[in-house]
Amino acid sequence: MLAMTLRAAELLRRWAPGLLLGLAALGLLLAGPAACQRGQRIAAEQRVERTQRDAAGGSARDAVETAAAASVRERAADELTQRNQREIRHADGAAQNVDPAATRAGFDGLCRRTAYRDSQRCRLRQPAAD
């Protein structure tokens, strides 16, 4: 029995490093691809998150620029309207009465324009007969 135990111990001493190396290689073989796939998945998720952040930032920047441009256009239109009103009110003859036929013809022409066609003043009036 002692001889058998000594022989088993000798075999174990000789084969143990090889067995351990084999088990380590088998572990790497099985775990290696999973670790690589996990790394690739994490990298892909980070790319998606970075792309989404960049897109959100770009959208916000576009929205701010669009709102700012609309505000500039609206302010310019308001300034033009105020300037036109001042010039009309301060023009020579502004206090004189205008012939009603000329007024109707002016409104008819104005209300044919797309920009004014749907205004309340144009919708409520009847065009002058030709």
Tell me the pLDDT tens digit for each residue of 81-126: 899 899 988 988 888 998 989 888 988 898 889 888 899 888 888 7
Q: Does residue 128 register a pLDDT over 70?
A: no
Nearest-angstrom CA–CA distance, 118 and 114: 8
d(CA 56, CA 49): 10
Average pLDDT over residues 11-38: 75
Locus of tokens 């998606």: 48
The answer to whether 105 touches 128, Cβ cutoff 8 Å, is yes
Query: What average pLDDT does range 26-36 have in this prediction?
Result: 73
With a pLDDT cut of 70, the percent of the chain lying above it is 90
pTM of the model: 0.42
